[in-house]
Each structure stands twice: as structure tokens, then as C-alpha cells.
Chains A and B, each alone.
Chain A
């Protein structure tokens, strides 16, 4: 039925099967849209946030998808600026995943603010001292860059490509893509960093606050570094998942191996920095504010020291070790375990830097406050996941995302 739109030389499932998949995921998407409309119409009272949880599930989701979407800027940097040519075989997918992650982040932000119609105030009345201002500017600009990077891929659809104008436009856009990749890397450095800065500058929240250089707390650099390390793991995770679901090998092992190796090294160095940061914070920063490390992990029913161990050891040192060894990278089960753990690790890091910050009492006569999100918050957080799956399904079916697919599946 839609075979004229499918790239030449590749096999795709029947249109009926595809449509059923879209309908099922579309149902979840509509559930999310319903919750989103409820929130826009009735306000944030539809959530379980409160005056102790000004930031909650959504801000975690925002930080999470932006970290996971970091694969786009880092793979782009490696491919176009550093010259790792093999990565051209996975860059399209990295860009698509980045596009989904960043558009999701913007949507979540639009839902999260109390007065959505005033959202533009962040640009109009910008406070240059606020990390959130920097996030808004860089995030919007980088989303524009990702859109520019995604457009040539759309133009390469078999039918659109037949139109000479679009064919030439796509070709010329590819020619100048290095400029956009460099711009994207520059912008990403700042917005990933400023997202880290959002928590790091909170000098009145001892769990979040970090010293740093000039106006940038250490979390600024740690967030950028971790996005560069863990983002490509998400690209590899989704690639492997797509291969499993489609039943096809889509990217050659040497490409996967290279990205995994670079990710492993970035993660390893990040973890050294993270451990030094944690050590200094636990022994110098927090005590100077009257807190022992254990104060942040006791007297409550959820946040124990396990979360620190899970983030740094189980979902940090272990996957980094796997990715750093050739045997680990060549074993597909081990590799998949490593990238999955890494994704959980970065999500855990973002979780504690948002939700644990809110949970910990700062005044001595207050107690820990825990929070469970409402169904509306959960639905609107799942909404971007459903949207992402649909966009991947459509893009995979109709666009030549994987240049090696034909060769690998003759």
C-alpha cells in the first residue's frame, strides 16, 4: 500500500502491522494528550506537586531526556569535527533520537509552567543571572539546530527526493552540516551545563550546592560530561532495540564498537570526576553547612545510601568497565546490559539532583517530604515516549536512516 514511500532495497513489515502498531502507541499518546489538556485547562492542581516539590517528575524527565539526547551532539562532534568517519552510519539515528528528546523536553516545559501563555517571558524579561534563562535560550537554539539536521533526512524520502529542489536542498544541507554540528556541540555544552547549574547554584540547598569556577558550579561541567558519556549509550540502546524489534542488523559492529568505546572512556573519566566531586562535597562542602553525608541518606523511607551506590557503582563503574574492554563490547548481551545500566545511571543522577534535593529538610525542625506523582503527571511523562516511538516508527519505515541496512540485509 505504501511501498512507493519505503526506501529502495529494504524490507518493512506490512502496512497493516505498521498501522496496528501506530494505533496501539497512538492510544497511549492520546491518554497523555488528554492529561496534558487537563493540566492546561485546570492548572497544576492536577499534579501531586506541592510547595515543597516545586520541581518534580517533569523536571526530572526534562533533565533525563536531555541527558539521553546528548548522543546527538556528541556523535555529531565526533563525526563532523573530530572526524570519526565510521559514525556516519549511526549519526542519522542519533540526530533523530536527539530531535525526539529535545522536542519532548520543550513540550514538558510547556506543560510544567504555571502560566503557559507567559512562557515567552523567559526570553523577553530574561534574567542573565539565572541558569534557567541559559537553559531556555540554548535549548531552543539547539532544538532549531536539530531540526535543521533532521530536515535533510526527511528530504531523502524516496518520493520527496524525486523533486529536484528538495534533492539539491538536502545535498547542500549535508555539505554544510559540519557547521551545524559544531554549533550544536557549542550550544549543548552550555545548556547541558546550565541544567547542571540549575541545581549546583542553589547555595541554600546543601544537597545540591557545589563550588566551582567563576559563575559555574562543578555540576555544570559534570552534567555536560555525563551527557556526552551516557547520551551515546542511549543511542546504542535504541539502535539495539530497533534491531531486535525489526529483526535486522542495521549498523555494523565496528561502528557500534567505536561509539561504545568512546562512550566508555568518556564515562570512565566522568566517573573519576564525579567521585572526586562527591568526596569533596561529602567531606568539605556539606560539613561546612552543618551536614554529614549520612544526613542526606537517612531518616526517610526511600532515599538510602543505596541510591548513591546504584548511581556510581552499579550504573556507572560496571557499565564503564564493560564498555572499556573489547570483550565486553563484542558480546552483544554484555554490551546491551552496559548501555541499559548506563541509561539508568544517568537518569538516577538527574533524579537525585531534582527530587532528592526537594525531599531533604534544610531547617532543623522540618522532616523529609516524599512525593508520588499523580496519574496526570505520569501520563504526560509517558506522552513523549509514545510520541518518540511513533516518530521512530515512521522515520524508520519511510526514511533511509541506516546507510548500512541494505548491505547488512541483502
Chain B
């Protein structure tokens, strides 16, 4: 029997080990620590892959925030203006790569702080790294509460998803009080099987449990993130014959599910996809099928603050993009981190972390107008509710004090 094809030669064993050794020796023995003549900020975002639609927006807004600072001569740190060097990497929407790249930025590129990614599952993977190296980390794209409170180095500008759900329930409750919807509303609750989805589910469930006369959850199901086909799930939704359809989904899943929902001719008195619905990408992809969906984003250009109007105009003029909630939170995340560096007056990780923990960012464009982090590291800001109207119009419908139009309830049958 001729075994020569698979029998290794005598040189292969040492060659194999030498290759491993080569990998080790190809790295510099001790990476030179760059001088602190610039502020090195790392960012790992899903610029390509499944989360690229919003990841790309995060990239644009983060770069815009840094450019603004650099164009103004740099960031004030300890009485000196320093240029901000943004090292932005793409994790291709892959959680394992995401964590590895954060590690690369910290261990090899020696960044002073890191801006986290978008998507709770990617941020979950990244968020273990800052603790390991003792480097401040601020995520602008993860609202799942389980990410926060584990490490003193991890901060986030998105308020908890559970609060998002509660806000939506309060909005619905107000519609009942106003007589637009009748008591005893039956809810079909459908959530992605992520921490994000679980938080939304908890918010709805807890509220319904506390208000049994007004709400009952009659269907409570979860689905796989980026599921290929939603028709089986929506068939069960149809069979549940609920009054309200409440779903929590990522942008891609929202587009696929709402397309299937429309094709199947489903109808509910009110429907929401959590934070999705007002997104330009969704409206472009689905057109009139998104009309009357209500959504609770972490920001809206309809917020009645002068700084929001000014920033929206500035952003549109500079980038040609009408900002969505993710542009705003990405921008505010970068701004909060850079403000903390200035407040710290030094590039030492402990000082930046301390400044983040006690940050009170005035004139914030986020709801509430002030950005600060709670003890867990997660910002606790109010939510707004918007509703899509025909013709591409969006109205802010909650809170009442800030509304730009009346909510349409129940949704007219098409």
C-alpha cells in the first residue's frame, strides 16, 4: 500500500512547530507605547454583514463627531488641544471577531478608550474585554440591561429596552383612557430570542400583569435572530386573534416580518416593532406597508429641543443624510466619551472612567436633554413614541407634551 501521500516527511514536524514559532517572532517583542500626543479612540462596528445598515450609520456619525472636534483644533485635555485619532474597525457583524478586534485595539494599538458596536449580541461579546485591560468603553448601540453592571469600565447610552416597552404600554393605556381603544386588549407578543428581546418581553408582560383589566398577553413567542422565514410564526399570530401586535426585532427582521405580515393580510388595531418602524431603510423597503406602525426610538428629530433642530440641520448639511435615532446615539456616544476625556484632563484610563461615571452632559440631543450614566453604567433616559403616517410623514405622539400630531388608533384597515 502506498502511503507516501499522507505520510509526512521528516522535516514536517519541526516545520510545523517553527511555523508556530514564526508567528510568535513576527510580532514585535514589546510593542512600543505611542506617546500621548493624540487621543486614540478605538471603535469596532458592524460596517459590513447583517448589521451593516445601522453599523454604517454608526460609523458615519462617529466619524462626524470626531471630525467636528478635530476641525475645531482638537480635544482639550489638561489645558492642551490634542487631535483625536479614531481607529475604527469593522467586525463584519461577527461577535467573535468583534471581541478580538477590541482586544487588538487595546493591546496593540494602545487606544485610550473604546466606542462599542451596534447590536446587543455584538456588544455582549465586546463588553468582556474592557474589564480585562481596564480601559473605558462606551457603547451606543446596545440597550440590553444584562450588558451593564458587570464591569465598572462599561457604559452605554441606550436606555433599557424594558423601559422602551413600558413606554409603549403607557402610550397604549393612554389610548384606552382616551376612548380610542377599548379595555381588555389582547396582545400577540413576539420577540427575538436575544437579551434585547427578553427585556422587551419583560416590559410588556409586567405591565400587562399590573393592568389585567386593560391588557392580556394571549400569544408570547420568540424567534431566532435573522430568521429566514416568518410565515409560520405569523400564522400563529393570525390564529391568536389578538387586538395588538407587539414585536421586538432588529431592522433586517422587521423588514422581512412586516413584508410577510402585509402579504398575509394580517390586521391589528395597533402594531409595533419596538424601536423599528420609523427607520428610513424600513420605510424605503416597505413603503406604505409601514404606515401607522408606532415605534419607540432612543431619539427623534421631532424632539422639541433647539439643540435637536440645530444638530439635525448640521448633520444633514455635512453628510447629506437625514439622521435617524442610531445616528444621534452614535454621535452622542462619541461626544460623551470625548467630553469625559476633557473632564478627566488626562489620558489615564482611571481618570476617564471616573469622568464618565460622573458625567452630566448638558444640551444633549437625546430625550431628556441631559446625558448621564446610572450606577450600572447604562443611561436612563425617557423614550418617545412616534407613529408613521401616510405619505412618509412621521409624528411624535408621546409624550403628549411634545406631540407633533395625534395618534391614529385604531389603525384603519387597508
Do A and B bind?
Answer: no
Residues of B at the A interface (CB closer than 8 Å) are: none
